[in-house]
Structure 1
Amino acid sequence: MEKFLYLVLDVFSFLIPFAYSFERKHLHFIQYWKPYFLAILLVGLFFIAWDVYFTVEGVWGFNNRYLVGINIFYLPLEEWLFFLLIPYASNFIHYSLKYFFPKPKLTPQSSFYLSLSLFILSAVVAVLNFDKIYTLCSFGLFSILMLIQLKYGFAIFQRYILSFLIILIPFFIVNSWLTGAFTAEPIVFYNDDENLGIRVGTIPLEDFFYCFSMLYGSILLFEHLKKKRFEH
């Protein structure tokens, strides 16, 4: 059973959102599958390339004790599935919350100042840690995303930043499992010379910024693709 642990985490995280995608009374999310999966795949390609490079460079690695043993371009099969299944499940939470609880959102002004604060904070951390590649890349990419948010003022940020606080709950559980909170050894291990060495539980702080960049990036692309598809 140990050999299937990462695979089980991937699939279990995906199953409930996937099942509810067919529900017709409310979201009926299946109607958006084509632009949704396309957005996830396109953004995922960038993060997979990042993942391959970091794996080769020893920034992080994977424990064969918990893997089925199929590797593609230095990454285990489970890691490839992670970039498809976890973004699907995570952002499905956002759209469910948006449907059932439409009112809670930040004001445009609050959204601007939050984006500005996050941009300054992440940019400073990135600049001060050029010698730590994971810190530099995770905070650096996040700061670029916040700069784009400041420039274009995407209204979806007003809702998504609140949804992300809820998404962090399953993210924390799954990532804690991957980083060794519930296993004898971590499934995914990190070279702490390349990060700040700050952990939230067993999760490197950088993972939270990495996660937001991946998920929000796919949301922005999905909204763009959905608008093009359903307006024509």
Structure 2
Amino acid sequence: MTPLYFYILLFSIAVPLLYTLFFKDFIKHWKYFTISTVLVAVFFLIWDFYFTAIGVWSFNYDYCLGIELLGMPLEEWLFFLIIPFCSLFIHYCAITVNPNFKFNKKASFYLTITLIVLVFTLAITNSTKYYTAVNFFVLAMVLSLGLLFFRTYLQEFYASFIVILIPFFIVNGILTGSFIETPIVSYNNLENLGIRLFTIPVEDIGYAFSMLFGNLMIFETLKKRLHKTT
């Protein structure tokens, strides 16, 4: 069959690459972005590898190139490099074009507190569901770090994440079986809440937020600290 997973990633990165010329400030900090992306990718790949090994999710190689690394298709490794670039490019385009494109301080604060309580409660009360428990625990930690040290970035990211969710639903929708005969990524529903947005497990939204905002926190920290020394 067609390596659809690879084509999805290729198409995903093509559009941001075409527009990077118009947002040179983002590209100027490529080394900080590379470091932050690799660090976050290592964490999520370890998580991904373990969950694949114990059957929390699996991959349909009919839609892949057929190259396997540590029990996962090559495309899954590329996912953690390409998707953060595409998503954070959207984020920086949004705040560059309109610096006021963000949640206000009070709304951001109360939303974060509410989300922390909600996802931590879901993690504790669903401790036997691996994806739900681990995913929402990580999200609670990421949100807590944001609340303590990165409030301004949270305000901005909440707004841009709404925009990011548009391509997210398209890409993840296809990966989980929308518009195609069988899903590229299949989930064991015993390990999640069983709540789907179209074909996407609701946990995937928290997963994406943790991956992207985690990347953003590291990126901004490196940019501030290392830029001062150069």
After TM superposition, the score normalised by the length of structure 2 is 0.96
Corresponding position of 2:127:
130
Within 2, Cα distance between the matches of 1:158 and 1:200? 25
Q: Take 1:77 and 1:178, find their aligned partners in 2: how far apart are those partners?
A: 15
* Aligned equivalents of 2:101, 2:79: Cα separation in 1: 29
Query: Structure 1: where are the runs of 5+ without partners?
Result: none
What is the rounded CA distance, in whole Å, between the counterparts of 1:51 and 1:30 in structure 2? 28
CA displacement 1:71-96 (0-9 Å, x = unmatched): 11111000001000011000100000
Asked if 1:186 corresponds to 2:183, the answer is yes
The alpha-carbon deviation at position 230 of structure 1 amounts to: 2.4
Contact 1:40 1:87 in 2 (8 A): yes
- Whether 2:226 is the aligned partner of 1:221: answer no
1:35 partner SS = helix
Where structure 2 has 5 or more consecutive residues not aligned to the other structure, the ranges are none
- Displacement of 1:106 in angstroms is 2.0
1:206 to 196, 203, 208: 203
Percent identity between matched residues is: 44
1:15 maps to which residue? Answer: 14
Q: Is the 8 A contact 1:60 1:190 kept in 2?
A: yes
Cα distance, 1:147 vs. partner?
1.8
Aligned equivalent of 1:104? 101
Partner of 1:21, secondary structure, is: helix
Give the 4+ runs in structure 1 shifted more than 4 A.
none
3-state SS of the aligned residue for 1:110?
Answer: helix
Distance 2:149 2:57 in 1: 34
2:95 and 2:101 map into 1 onto residues whose CA distance is 9
State how far apart, in whole Å, the 2-side matches of 1:62 and 1:226 are. 36
| CA distance in 2 between partners of 1:35 and 1:153 (Å) | 17
CA contact (8 A) 1:22 1:28 kept: no
The corresponding residue for 1:166 is 163
State how 1:28-67 maps to structure 2 within 5 Å: 28-67=25-64
Amino acid at match of 2:215: S
**2: CA distance between counterparts of 1:3 and 1:229?**
43
Instruction: Name the CA shift for 1:217/1:199 in 2 (closer, same or farther; >3 Å).
Output: same
Instruction: Read off the aligned partner of 1:7 and give its amino acid letter.
Output: F
1:27–1:96 Cα contact (<8 Å) kept: no
Contact 1:180 1:202 in 2 (8 A): yes
The residue that corresponds to 1:115 in the other structure is 112
Inter-partner Cα distance in structure 2 for 1:21 and 1:229? 23
Deviates more, 1:108-117 or 1:81-90: 108-117
- Per the normalisation by structure 1, the TM-score is 0.95
Contact 2:150 2:217 in 1 (8 A): no
Task: Say which SS state the counterpart of residue 2 (structure 2) adopts.
Answer: helix
Q: Do 1:112 and 1:153's aligned partners in 2 also have CA atoms closer than 8 Å?
A: no
> How far is 1:146 from its partner?
1.6
Aligned residues: CA RMSD: 1.2
How far did residue 22 of structure 1 move? 3.0
Q: Are 2:3 and 2:62, in contact at CA under 8 Å, matched by a contact in 1? A: no
